[in-house]
Structure 1
Amino acid sequence: MAPPHVPDIHHRRRRWTQTVLPRRTAQACYFPANRGKNVNHLQTLTAICNLPTAPYREQLVVAWLLEWAKQRRIHVTRDGVGNVYLHYRRGKPFKRPLIIEAHMDHPGFVVKKQRRDGTIEAAFRGGVKPSLFEKARAKFFTDRWHPTRVLTVKPNKKSRFLDVTLAAVKEKLPPGTLGMWDLPDAVIENGLFKSRVCDDLGGVAAIVCLFEELLDQKIDGHVIGLCSRAEEVGFGGVLAACENKWLPKNAVIIGLETSKASDFAKQGNGAIIRVGDRTGLFSLGLTHFVTQAAASIADDDKHFKYQRALMSGGTCNTTAVTAYGFDATCLCVALGNYHNQHVKGDPGYGDAPKAGPGIASETIHTGDFLGMVGILVAVVQRFKTYTPGVDFLRERFHKLHRDEQVALFKTTPL
C-alpha cells in the first residue's frame, strides 16, 4: 500500500510536477516578500508533514523521498541503519562535502500488543509530558488511520519510552504499527503552518526544497542531504553514522531543526541561525559563515528577515556530530506547541487544532520556512569560499590592530 498523501510525481518536458499542484515556475523565489511564488515549496512542506512517522518507524517518509529522488534523478544511498543520503553534484566539487541534515521521526506511538478485546498496548517514543496524555485522542496507521483514545500512561523503568494503553479498535493492528495524535492534515492560516508534525519533517522538506532550487538554478556544488532516523529517542541515526564512520571525515554539517519558540526567537521574525542548544555551542566559524550568507540576502532584499539565537529548548543532532569532531552548526525555525504539547503560556497555545486538553498541532511560520530555504541556497552558492576555523577573524583583528591601534597606543601613552 502506498504511503498516504504521497503525490504522484512524474516528468513533463523535463520538469517535475505533482498532480495536485500547479506547474512549477522556472525559478521559485524563496523570500517572504514574494510569497505568491513559493506555492510549490509550501505544498512540498504540506505533503511531507502529512506523512505518518515515529521513532524507528520512518518508512513512509523514506518511501516518499525515494520516489521523489527517482523522478528527479537524484542519486540516493542508504547506510546500515537506513538513514537516507540524497546526493547533488554539479560542476567542480567542493574541497569538503557539505551535508545538510534533518531527522525523519517525531514523537509517536508504536503498538506492542493488541488484546483480544481490541485494546492497544503501545510504547510512546519521544519527549512528551505524561500529564498531557489525559483525555487525549490518538490514531494508528495501516493502510488508513484508526482512531482511538488514551486510557492510561506510565513511565517504563527499563526504557526511555512511556507505556500507554488505548481504547479498543476493531481492526487488527500488528506489533510495530505506528501511531500519532489524532490531529488533522496540515493547513496554512494567516501565514501559520499547522500540522501533526513540523519537528522535523519541516527540516526534511527544506532539504527537498533546497535540492529543487539547486536543480532549477543549476548551481554548482556537492551537497549531501542526510535524512536521519530516531533523533527523538537519543539521536539514533546520527550516532550510528558517526560511530561507524559513514560520514566523510572532512564533511561540513548544517543541521536543520524546528526549535521551541521563545520571547527572543519568535515566529514570523525569520529563520534562526542557531548558535547552540541546551547542551553546548556550535562551530564559531561555520555559524559566522551561515550568518554572512543570510546577511547577503538581507542586503539585497529589505523584506528578508533572519534571527540568530541560542535555542536552549532541547539538544539536537548538531550537538551529536559536534561531539564526534565535525565542523557543524544549525539552522532552525521557531516552533509552536513543541512536540504537540499544548501548555498555557507557551508559544503556539490556542493557535492550532487540538487532540485533547494538552495536545495540539505544531506550528511554524511559512515565511520562516521559506527564509530557511533561501539561506541554504545562499550557503551553497558561497560555500567554495568557506575556510574552516577562525583564521579569518584572527586576520581581521591583526589588520585592525596593526593599521589603527598600534599608532594610537604610541601617540596616546598613559
Structure 2
Amino acid sequence: MAIEFFDDSNGIADVPGFRTGAAACNLRGNADTARLDVAVIFSEKPCTAAGAFTTNDVKAAPVYVSQAHLRGAAAGTPMRGIVATSGNANACTGEQGMKDAAAMCALAAEACGVSPEQFFVCSTGRIGVNLPMEKMARGIAEAAKNLSRDPAESLRAADAILTSDTRRKTCTAKFSVGGKTVTVAGMAKGAGMIEPGMATMFGLIATDAEIAQPLLQKCLWNAVGQSFNCVTVDGDMSTNDTVLVLADGESGVRVSEDDAGTLALFKEALNAVTFALARKIVGDGEKISRVVTLRVFGARSAADANRIARSIGNSLLVKASWCGGDPNWGRLLCAAGYAKCGIDQTKIDLFYDDVPVFLKGELQAQNEAAWRRVVREKEFEIRMHLNLGVHDYRLISTDLTEAYVDFNKGE
C-alpha cells in the first residue's frame, strides 16, 4: 500500500485535531504593518513530540527553550503547540532573550489554556535585536484568537513564518491502515543561511498517528538525515534552525516497532513531507537561478560520500560556474579532491544527467555539446561514481548569483 502525496497543500489544517492561527504585529518595525509575522499551532489533544535543532555553537534563545521543552516531552510531558514568529531571530540577545522566549511560550499557553512547558517556540529574522514584547504579546493573543481548522488560516500561518522566502511551503502525505487514514502535514520556511545541520529554516509538522515519543524521535532523525540535512544554498548554518513534529493520535492508528508494515508507511510519509519541504527551501533559495542535485556513489564510507558532496556543493567556484551555465567539470573534480578522502581520479565516472563527462580518468569530449545543454537547464543532476566502495550521498545545492551577493551585502 503506497502513500498519497499532496504538494502545496493546506498544510497543518489537513491533520485532524490541529488548529492554526496567524497575526500581524509588525515585529520588523517597518512600513509593512500588515505583513503576517506570528503563527500559532495548537492541538486539541495532548501530543507526543520530536525535534531537531541547529548544531551551531551559537544558538538562539528559542532553540534553548524548545530543547528544554523537548527534554520534558521525552520524559512524558504531553505537548500541545508551537508559537513561531518571523522578523526577529531573538539570537545573541543574552539573558533577556531567554526570558522573552520563555514568555512567548507562556503567552501562547495562557491563550490556549495549557501550561508553558507544553509549547515550543521558534523565531527567525534579524540577529542581535531584542524582541518588542508588547507587540509580541498582542500578536500572540491575536493569533491564538484566530485559531481555526480553516485551511485559509493554515495558509496564513504558513505565510507568517516567512522571511526572505518568496513563497509559502506546505505539503501533506496520507496512508491508510485497516480503513483508517493517517495524515502527516507540514509547513516550512527558509531561503538563505541554508547549510545543515540544519539551516535558517523551520520545518513544523503535525500528524494524527499514535506513536510513542522515542520512536517518533527516531523516525524524525532518520527523516531529517535524508532531507533537511541534505540541502545547501550558501553554506551558512543558522542560529535558529528547528524541525518539530507533534503527533496527536487522532487517527487511532498505532505506529510501533511491533508492526513493521505500519511503521514503514509512517516513515515513508514523514520522509516524503520532510524531503519535499527541504526541496522547496532550496528551490526558493535567495536569488538563485539553478538547483543542482549532487549524487556521490561508491565511496568507502558514508562520511566520505557526505564530505565530497558538500565540498562540491559549497564550492564558490563550482556554484559560480553553475550560475553561468558553464559545466566546468574540472572544478567539480578539484573540489572532490580537496575533500581529502583518498579518491582515485582514474576510477571516477562523472555524469551530467545521463551524459558521460569523465570516465575512468578520461574526458569524454565527444559529449561536450550535450553536457553543456544540461547545465543550462534550471534543474539538473550531477552523478559522481568514485568506484571505491558501496556508500552514497545525495545533496541538493544551488548556484551563486550576482543577485545573491547584492541582496546580502548589507542588512
Q: Is the pair's TM-score, using the shorter chain for normalization, greater than 0.5? A: no
Larger helix fraction of residues: 2
State the TM-score, normalizing by the size of structure 2: 0.24
TM-score, normalised relative to structure 1 = 0.24
